[in-house]
Amino acid sequence: MAGIFGTDGVRSRINTGAMRAEFIVRLALAAGEYFITHNKSDNKTARPLVIIGKDTRLSGYMLEAALVSGFTSIGMDCRLTGPIPTAGVAYLTHSLRAELGVMISASHNPHYDNGIKLFGPDGFKLDDNIELEISNLLQGSISLAEPELLGRAKRMIDSVPRYVEFAKATFPSQLGLNSLKIVVDCANGAAYKTAPDTLHELGASVIPIGIEPDGININAQCGATSPEQLTKALKEHSADIGIALDGDADRLILSDEKGGLHDGDSVLAALALNMSQSSILTGPVTGTVMTNLGLERLLQSHKIPFQRTNVGDRYILEALKRDGGNLGGEPSGHILLPAITRCGDGLIAALKILELVITSEKPLSEILRLFEPVPQKLVNLSNVDKSVLQQDDVISQVTKIERELGKKGRLLLRPSGTEPLIRIMVEAEDPDLVDKIINDVTAILSSIR
């Protein structure tokens, strides 16, 4: 990814790097300049519009104000949604015919990080070439609007109900969730209103947790990255299903009636088989290099094409668009259904699984236990300079390990695109071998610190 953008927009610790107010003003100017110049609207006299949403981080107020300053000073009107899932921004950008959508969120990261995700008029995340052009515009001079042409900013009072109605419309109208008791953990994040409201209005008995955001507690021992509270609440309330979302609700983890946890691979498997049986699956199912080999084998056994991309939902979406696919996802819980949503949407992915529960009359534990995962372990190394992965001695030692592993498994070593981490993933039939390789690689990288 060229320029300032990573695998999912711009992200950093607040008040450092790209997450300083003055930089965000500049980013808004550059993005505004690009979309004003490339405005494809038939009404060239209408003032260009940008939708700005955010999660519940305290720093969201600061970044929101900086974005408004930049966009209005270049002549764009702003509509501020307040806390809403990332998918809600994508939906509103397209439905309101805006030139640009902006989500202020660092997704599953802690509160002290924040980020900016940009969406084009079609509601999809920006292509690499557009991000590169915006990065280049950041370096130059940008003309500001004349005083009488400044943009205006207004708060949208109906952003949450608009998105809730959209989400409800993706669930078959002849079905209802009246028979289900559902725990939903909203991670004290962007979906703290939308997820419980949607499930309740569809008829479920809802036990919401993680719905008391204070600006600091987003993703803190809750949500998709820490599902322990979900399983605890599920057992206490004897619920049928648990749904855990992350800070901006673009990913999910599910808990079945027995307290068993299921990641994005399990969700992807259930949706793929159902869509194939219903003859609505198009193109290959798309996963990433992190997708468990067990899922790939399951799809092969059902003669369902499968392909892998680099980590990141943007790369999955690019592959789906290229090959005409309509289903992809990551183990982390990003599920992409481009015929329905324009980016990962944890709530709508959950609704698709709930639809299977209702129509099949089977418990979630049976619906999601479709394959035996190949033993896999992921370790995150912090406080490591990512550049060590480019050092000749590290490359040589890792290559030797890969040769020894051969066809017995997979080793993936990569820098995180959203956090200051190096990720080590090892997958093999022999769990002892997995542990050995994890330890060997960790020791190599730790010795270079």
Q: Give the confidence band of 42 by pLDDT, cuts at 50, 70, 90.
A: low
Predicted confidence (pLDDT) at residue 2 exceeds the cutoff of 60: no
pLDDT at residue 43, as a whole number: 58
Query: Which residues, at least 6 apart from 335, have a Cβ–Cβ distance to it below 8 Å?
Result: 251, 252, 264, 267, 268, 271, 327, 328, 329, 344, 345, 346, 349, 352
Query: What would the pLDDT profile of 60-71 be if each residue is shown by its tens digit?
Result: 999 999 999 999
Residues 6 or more apart in contact with residue 187 via CB below 8 angstroms: 210, 218, 219, 222, 223, 224, 225, 244, 245, 246, 247, 249
Model confidence at 391, in pLDDT bands (50, 70, 90)? Answer: confident
Q: Strand order of the sheet with strand 252-255?
A: 205-209, 181-185, 241-245, 252-255, 261-262
**In the chain, what is the straight-line distance between the N-terminal and C-terminal CA atoms, in Å?**
25
pLDDT band at 182 (very low <50, low <70, confident <90, very high): very high
Q: Of 415 and 375, which is predicted with more confidence?
A: 375
Residue with tokens 């290229």: 322
> Are the C-beta atoms of residues 379 and 442 closer than 8 Å to each other?
yes
Of residues 412, 345, 369, 399, the one with CA closest to residue 194: 345
d(CA 340, CA 94): 13
DSSP reduced 3-state for 349: helix
396 close to 288: Cβ distance less than 8 angstroms: no
Q: Residue 1's pLDDT band (boundaries 50, 70, 90)?
A: very low
Question: Is the model more confident about 402 or about 118?
Answer: 118
Mean pLDDT for the chain overall: 94
Q: What residues does 100 pair with on adjacent strands?
A: 50
> CA 269 to CA 406: how far, in whole Å?
27
Decide which of 324 and 416 is more confident. 324
- Beta-carbon neighbour count of residue 132 at 10 Å? 16
| Beta strand 261-262 pairing with 205-209 | unpaired
Q: Which two tokens stand for residue 245?
A: 């979302």
pLDDT-above-70 percentage for the chain: 97
DSSP letters of 251-303? -EEEE-TTS-EE-HHHHHHHHHHHHHHTT---S-EEEETTS-HHHHHHHHHTT
| pLDDT at residue 427 in the model | 94
Q: What is the DSSP code string of 147-199?
A: GGG---EEE-SSHHHHHHHHHHHTS-TT---TT-EEEEE-TTSTTTTHHHHHH
Segment 252-268, tens digit of pLDDT = 999 999 999 999 999 99
Residue 437 CA from chain centroid, whole number: 29
**Alpha-carbon torsion (186, 191, 196, 199), positive or negative:** negative
The answer to whether residues 374 and 294 touch, using CB atoms and an 8 Å cutoff, is yes
- Which positions ≥6 away from 346 have C-beta within 8 Å? 85, 191, 224, 243, 245, 246, 249, 250, 251, 252, 333, 335
* Confidence band of 278 (pLDDT split at 50, 70, 90): very high
Q: What average pLDDT does the segment 393-416 reach?
A: 87
Distance CA 341, CA 421 (A): 30
Residues in the chain: 449
47 secondary structure, DSSP code: P
44 pLDDT higher than 60:
no
- Which phi and psi angles does 253 have, rounded to 5°? -125, 140
What residues contact 309, with CB distance under 8 A and at least 6 apart? 286, 287, 288, 289, 315, 316, 318, 319
pLDDT digits (tens, 9 = 90+) for 422-447: 889 999 999 999 999 999 998 888 87
The whole-angstrom separation of Cα 178 and Cα 126 is 39
What's the pLDDT score for residue 285?
98
**Domain annotation for the chain: domains and CATH numbers:** 10-157 (3.40.120.10), 162-241 (3.40.120.10), 262-368 (3.40.120.10), 376-448 (3.30.310.50)
Return all residues near 419 (Cβ < 8 A) that are at least 6 apart: 109, 113, 380
Q: At 79, phi and psi to the nearest 5?
A: -115, 120
Task: Tell me how far CA of residue 142 lies from CA of 27, 71, 145, 164, 165, in angstroms.
Answer: 11, 12, 10, 38, 39
User: Which positions are catalytic?
Assistant: 107
Considering the entire predicted model, what is its pTM? 0.92
pLDDT of residue 40: 61
Q: With CA atoms as reference, report the closest residue to 184 among 296, 64, 342, 350.
A: 350
- The answer, yes or no, to whether residue 45 has pLDDT greater than 80, is no
Is a pLDDT exceeding 50 seen at residue 181? Answer: yes
Helix then strand then coil, in percent of the chain rounded to 5, is: 40, 20, 40
